[in-house]
A and B are shown apart, each in its own frame.
Chain A
Amino acid sequence: MMSRGPSALREPAIELRGVGRVYPSGTERVSALRDLDLIIYPGEAVAISGISGSGKTTLLNLIAGLDHPTSGEIRVLGQNLAELSEGKVTAFRAKSIGLVFQDPHLLPGLSAIENVALARLPWGRRSELMREAKKLLEALGLGQRLHHPPSRLSAGERQRVGLARALLGQPQILLADEPTGNLDAKTTEGLIALLSELREEMGITLVIATHDPAVAAMAQRIVRLLGGTIESDRSVPALRSVDTHILQ
Chain B
Amino acid sequence: MGLQEALAGLLSAGPAHGYQLFSMLEGELGPAWETRQSHLYLTLARMERDGLVSGRRIRQRALPDRQVFELTSKGRALADRWLTSAEPQSEMVVKLAIARVARPELFADLAAAISDEVAGRLKALRQLSRSLKAGFQQQALALEIARRQAEIRWLSSIRDDTAAILAQPRAQKRGRHDEQGSERLA
Q: Identify the A interface with B (CB < 8 A).
A: 49, 51, 185, 189, 192-193, 196-197, 212-214, 216-218, 222, 224, 226, 232, 234-243
Which of B3-11, B42-50, B55-63, B149-157 is found at the contact surface with chain A?
Answer: B149-157
Central interface residue in B121, B125, B128, B146, by most chain A CB within 10 Å: B121
Within 8 A of A (CB), among B114-166: 115-130, 144-146, 148-149, 152-153, 155-156, 159-160
The yes or no answer to B13 lying at the interface (CB within 8 A) is: no
User: Does the CB pair A242–B116 fall under 8 Å?
Assistant: no
CB distance from A132 to the nearest CB of B (A): 25
A242 to B129, CA, bound (A): 11
User: Does the CB pair B112–A234 fall under 8 Å?
Assistant: yes
Given A237-B116, A239-B121, A242-B144, A218 and B156 touching (CB < 8 A)? no
A51 to B160, CA, bound (A): 8
User: Does the CB pair B130–A218 fall under 8 Å?
Assistant: no
Q: Identify the B interface with A (CB < 8 A).
A: 89, 112, 115-130, 144-146, 148-149, 152-153, 155-156, 159-160
A113 to B118, CA, bound (A): 39
User: Does the CB pair B130–A193 fall under 8 Å?
Assistant: yes
A189 to B123, CA, bound (A): 11
A33 to B128, CA, bound (A): 37
Central interface residue in A213, A237, A239, by most chain B CB within 10 Å: A213
Given A213-B152, A242-B144, A237 and B120 touching (CB < 8 A)? yes
A240 to B120, CA, bound (A): 9
Question: Contacts of A197 on B, CB cut-off 8 Å?
Answer: 130
A-B contact count (CB 8 A): 67
Given A189-B145, A197-B130, A242 and B117 touching (CB < 8 A)? no
Question: Contacts of A241 on B, CB cut-off 8 Å?
Answer: 124
Interchain residue pairs with CB less than 8 A apart (5): A51-B160, A196-B130, A213-B115, A242-B121, A242-B128
The main secondary structure of chain A at its interface with chain B is: mixed
4 closest A-B pairs (Cβ-Cβ)? A213-B156, A237-B120, A214-B149, A217-B119
The main secondary structure of chain B at its interface with chain A is: helix
Which chain A residue shows the least CB distance to B150? A214
Which chain B residue shows the least CB distance to A193? B130
A193 to B129, CA, bound (A): 9
User: Does the CB pair B123–A236 fall under 8 Å?
Assistant: yes
A150 to B63, CA, bound (A): 78
Question: Contacts of A216 on B, CB cut-off 8 Å?
Answer: 119
CB distance from B104 to the nearest CB of A (A): 18
User: Does the CB pair B126–A222 fall under 8 Å?
Assistant: no
A237 to B87, CA, bound (A): 13
User: Does the CB pair B126–A212 fall under 8 Å?
Assistant: no
Given A214-B153, A217-B152, A240 and B124 touching (CB < 8 A)? yes
7 other A-B residue contacts (CB within 8 Å) besides A236-B119, A239-B123 = A189-B145, A192-B126, A226-B160, A232-B112, A234-B116, A237-B117, A243-B89
CB distance from B142 to the nearest CB of A (A): 8
A212 to B155, CA, bound (A): 12
User: Does the CB pair A235–B116 fall under 8 Å?
Assistant: yes
User: Does the CB pair B123–A213 fall under 8 Å?
Assistant: no
